[in-house]
Amino acid sequence: MDSSVSRYGLGQKRKGRQIVAEKKKKGATKKKTSNKKVTEKVVKKVAKKKARLNKAEIEHYKTLLLNKRREILFNVTNIEVGALKKSRQDAAGDLSSMPLHMADIGSDTFEQEFALGLVESERGLLQEIDEALERVESRTYGICQATHVMIRKARLQAQPWAKYCVEHARKLEEESS
């Protein structure tokens, strides 16, 4: 039977088919990697040309940012006044400035530290809003800073200071935890 296989070339056909199949597999993997590169280029072009926000949308988001900034500044001012400028006597309405108990001092200190923590958090948000306003001026607002794709309008509506698209923000969150 070996002689018939080699005589009719069946063994060579099988080997040839295997070689062709292997070449097709290699070609398919090359196409996949090149398709990825092409897709990335297309996404970048779309983000640069077609999907940009129009002037009315940018003005809308700029107004949202400015209103949020104004609100945060008002809140920070009020928190600072409440935490730093009031004495215990003013806050509690006591006639005496001596606390009745050590726990009262601890409570006052805790409230002050909590308020200052809120102020610090709000100041961080103010910085992000200022950066977003700078992106509006530089005409890069609404584009993810990492992937260069457009940030969805729903995300910008909910968080107008967003600098990353949802997908990249999730990736960063997973890496940090």
Q: How far is CA 64 from CA 22, 69, 85, 158, 161, in A?
A: 57, 9, 31, 10, 9
Considering the chain, what percentage of its residues have pLDDT values greater than 90? 44
Whole-number mean pLDDT of the chain? Answer: 76
The answer on pLDDT for 85 being more than 80 is no
The pLDDT-based confidence of 82 (bands split at 50, 70, 90) is confident
With CA atoms as reference, report the closest residue to 47 among 165, 157, 136: 165
pTM above 0.75, yes or no: no
Residue range 47-74: average pLDDT? 86
Residue range 145-172: average pLDDT? 94
Residue range 85-106: average pLDDT? 60
pLDDT digits (tens, 9 = 90+) for 97-153: 555 667 777 777 888 888 888 999 999 999 999 999 999 999 999 999 999 999 999
